Amino acid sequence: MLAGAYTALVTPFADGEVDYARLAANIERQVAGGIDGVVPVGTTGESPTLSHDEHRAVIERTVAAVNRRVQVIAGTGSNSTREALSLTRHAKDAGVDVALMVNPYYNKPSQEGLYRHFMTVADAVELPICLYNIPGRTNVTMSADTVVRLYDHPNIVAIKEATGSLDLASEIASRCDIAVISGDDSLTLPLMSIGGVGVISVLSNLFPERIKALVSAGASGDAARAKQLHLELFSLCKGCLTLATNPVPIKAAMQIAGFDTGEVRLPLTDLDDAGRSQLQTLLAGALPAAV
């Protein structure tokens, strides 16, 4: 049930507040661009800086704007199991299709702690769950053994792999049938080559049509077209994750391309002049008409 190109939505801000009109406008662009689904309040959505009320409101507004035209995968993870449970229950009541649950961060649980955390939510809420393995943000990596154990639960259906390790993704894919979806734009095609089913993309905020085309080419076996798109977008994909902390570069890129989503929220700060200049060069190389 989870396959294709999904956009990890930025959260637009204006004067320090969530700009729901710009959020809806970006969702319309994604749907028009053929994207398979949208992902509010994830890493790209600056979820750590949103209040609980804002978090819930962004999910509700996203569900309303989508109006069942595409899937909604809502971020509901937390380093508190009780909070993750509360957020996932709300997401189900709001009408989302899948909950995206990141590994608990900062408190560095053991593999058994990870297992119990996700099982607690999966047992309590009748909603499909996509695990989210991103050690660069959480300082803990979910092992293949733990993923295999969790996949025994019928509500745990997918994993967003953002470890940067094709070996780990390959081990997971070789040991169970969980849907593996890329969490890094630059690794979408490599992951699809070992059985991945798509991407939750940062770059599709800017280029939904091209990310959809890449995933479609990979899924249909059009290796030449998939490789062409992968290589065309590769430098920009890397830049959006290395020039500054995500989502600083993608928000700057959207401003440059005429799709302004406002500032980032502290403690993140806007891209500096040097980074912006590099980003303009990368944008020109990927799609000259966007600059």
Encoded amino acid at 6, one letter? Y
What span, in angstroms and rounded, lies between the C-alpha atoms of 9 and 268? Answer: 17
Q: How many CB atoms lie within 10 A of CB 153?
A: 15
Task: Dump pLDDT digits (tens) for 113-145.
Answer: 999 999 999 999 999 999 999 999 999 999 999
The reported pLDDT for the residue numbered 291 is: 39
What span, in angstroms and rounded, lies between the C-alpha atoms of 268 and 259? Answer: 20
Contact 191, 169 (CB under 8 A): yes
Record the pTM. 0.95
Residues marked as catalytic: 132, 160
Q: What parts of the chain have a pLDDT lower than 50?
A: 288-291
User: What DSSP string runs through 195-237?
Assistant: T--EEEESGGGT-HHHHHHHHHHHHHT-HHHHHHHHHHHHHHH
Q: At what angle do helices 166-175 and 144-151 cross, to 10 degrees?
A: 30
DSSP 3-state helix, strand, coil percentages of the chain (rounded to 5)?
50, 15, 35
The reported pLDDT for the residue numbered 287 is: 67
Q: Does the N-terminal peptide bond of residue 247 adopt cis geometry, omega within 30 degrees of 0?
A: yes
Domains with residue ranges and CATH for the chain: 4-220 (3.20.20.70)
Encoded amino acid at 220, one letter? S
The residue among 221, 36, 213, 169 whose CA lies nearest residue 184 is 169
Token pair, residue 249, equals 């570069």
**Alpha helices, DSSP H only, in 68-134?**
81-94, 111-124
Token pair, residue 183, equals 């969490």
Token pair, residue 27, equals 């969702």
Task: Dump pLDDT digits (tens) for 69-122.
Answer: 999 999 999 999 999 999 999 999 999 999 999 999 999 999 999 999 999 999
What span, in angstroms and rounded, lies between the C-alpha atoms of 282 and 207? Answer: 14
Token pair, residue 277, equals 């200049």
What span, in angstroms and rounded, lies between the C-alpha atoms of 144 and 172? Answer: 5
Contact 96, 63 (CB under 8 A): yes
The reported pLDDT for the residue numbered 1 is: 80
What span, in angstroms and rounded, lies between the C-alpha atoms of 59 and 65? Answer: 10
Q: Does the N-terminal peptide bond of residue 190 adopt cis geometry, omega within 30 degrees of 0?
A: no
